[in-house]
Structure 1
């Protein structure tokens, strides 16, 4: 909250600057906040946007709800759950968007070398399609300019979006390739495939919790799986169960299923939007 207030104050001070300078300042401020959280964190979960992070966030939140008797609407932001119980680790969720604007480490993952990192990856084609719907129905206009997305009112297809150099497949593959190149330099790294989480959720969740250092019993893991099913997550989003945790699990338009954070989650769903050519 404090970081957002600071950004708003700075925004007011630089409002009359050219947009490219405002963007650079905003990205640096966001990067500074990411750096602060990274330094404090016990574990960082990194993913390109729309790779299953919200699903994993709900699963981990549910586990700590069970473990420490927290309310069902407790959703990990950063340190909010640890404020209720010191045994809950500080988990920093990041799309690795802005850190480099503060540290200058754009061509390496040096900032993460000494951290415990869970890297969540997904088929880039599915990521691109899911990103399209995020951009079209949920994303704030300023966020689009901040990250070089197509203009707010652009009329483009899923395919055109997926081929965009700044936000489509080229960008997603570039992100994944840099992480692949740097993986061997990170002291503690667990790579998790979204497709594996879909195939055997309890098994992969157990691996993640073991890696974090807060192991789950089989019974706890199964409860988490049930709680975080696509059907239940859609119901929770409709009911705005996590409304006190910002817009993460709130639909853009209740009447439009494509505006929901929990949309389909289908493995290979990109094929429903692209033909074989």
Structure 2
């Protein structure tokens, strides 16, 4: 989280702050590993944006990054690296997006505000399979019926319903609601982050992160979205931006696998998410 001194320098003389920030970044690159950087950001972030894999986190990150870039005039920044925005402008919230199960870092969530992004586990599992099929069982239905990753999604969601009060503040966002009304849900996130971003800028950010443009960014690469997340060298079936469809799992799975997923979710997943029927 930015210090008062950093904010004061930025407010008094932005060029001086920018110079000091570049020197700090250069120094960190000399001694700080990727793991060290991750731990530092996770520990100091004001907000944690948490999800399991294949829940739309890349999409949300790009929308937020583009909105902050446009609203606050930040140039030459990796839109995907939300934490970097607070280092470029210390008046912006420090946001750490990550995959983290509850308790993975010793139940330290009382120090953070948490945005939990969830997606119907059935769609998330199918998306996960296609992206990582080289290391998963050779058959999609076999993978689903094994149930191991399904249990991980259910446990993750149930944990956060039980322990959300351990955070400073908590916001749950459903991928399906982002698809249904992207502007409304993105506005909820922006309000939670205490950012003042006009709806017109949010709409422009949404257009930038539209499905077809995200596919193009992944296929062709872009200086705006770096860090290897949208990896164009993958085959089309294995890319992160594949379908993005709500309920698309029914097009890919056998009747047996669908019935198994439906029954397990109805029996074990907290119904508050709306995925149990």
Whether the TM-score (by the shorter chain) exceeds 0.5 is yes
The answer (yes or no) to whether the contact 1:121–1:194 under 8 Å persists in 2 is: yes
Distance 2:101 2:31 in 1: 16
- Answering whether residue 117 of structure 2 is matched by residue 120 of structure 1, we say yes
Point out where structure 2 has 5 or more consecutive residues left out of the alignment: 1-27, 257-277
Instruction: Report the more deviating stretch, 81-90 or 47-56.
Output: 81-90
154, 175, 191: which one aligns with 1:210? 191
1:159 — aligned with what? Answer: 141
2:129 — aligned with what? Answer: 132
224, 236, 249: which one aligns with 1:270? 249
Distance 2:245 2:30 in 1: 35
The answer (yes or no) to whether the contact 1:65–1:72 under 8 Å persists in 2 is: no
Per the normalisation by structure 1, the TM-score is 0.74
Any idea what SS the aligned residue of 2:249 has? helix
1:51 — aligned with what? Answer: 55
Summarize the Cα distance change of 1:88–1:239 in structure 2 as closer, same or farther, 3 Å threshold: farther
Higher helix share: 2
Summarize the Cα distance change of 1:119–1:155 in structure 2 as closer, same or farther, 3 Å threshold: closer
The answer (yes or no) to whether the contact 1:163–1:170 under 8 Å persists in 2 is: no
The answer (yes or no) to whether the contact 1:251–1:261 under 8 Å persists in 2 is: no
Any idea what SS the aligned residue of 1:262 has? coil
Any idea what SS the aligned residue of 1:214 has? coil
169, 194, 200: which one aligns with 1:219? 200
The answer (yes or no) to whether the contact 2:121–2:150 under 8 Å persists in 1 is: yes
Distance 1:186 1:83 in 2: 23
Any idea what SS the aligned residue of 2:125 has? helix
Q: Which of 1 and 2 has greater Rg?
A: 2
Distance 1:99 1:184 in 2: 13
Q: CA RMSD in A?
A: 2.6
Point out where structure 1 has 5 or more consecutive residues left out of the alignment: 8-29, 138-151
Summarize the Cα distance change of 1:5–1:98 in structure 2 as closer, same or farther, 3 Å threshold: farther
Q: Deviations over 1:60-116 (max 9, x none)?
A: 11001101223476323253233332233211001105972xx4x3xxxx2213311
Distance 2:32 2:139 in 1: 36
- Answering whether residue 85 of structure 2 is matched by residue 81 of structure 1, we say yes
Any idea what SS the aligned residue of 1:58 has? helix
* TM-superposed deviation, 1:4: 10
Distance 2:145 2:31 in 1: 33
Per the normalisation by structure 2, the TM-score is 0.74
* TM-superposed deviation, 1:157: 1.3
Distance 2:39 2:185 in 1: 28
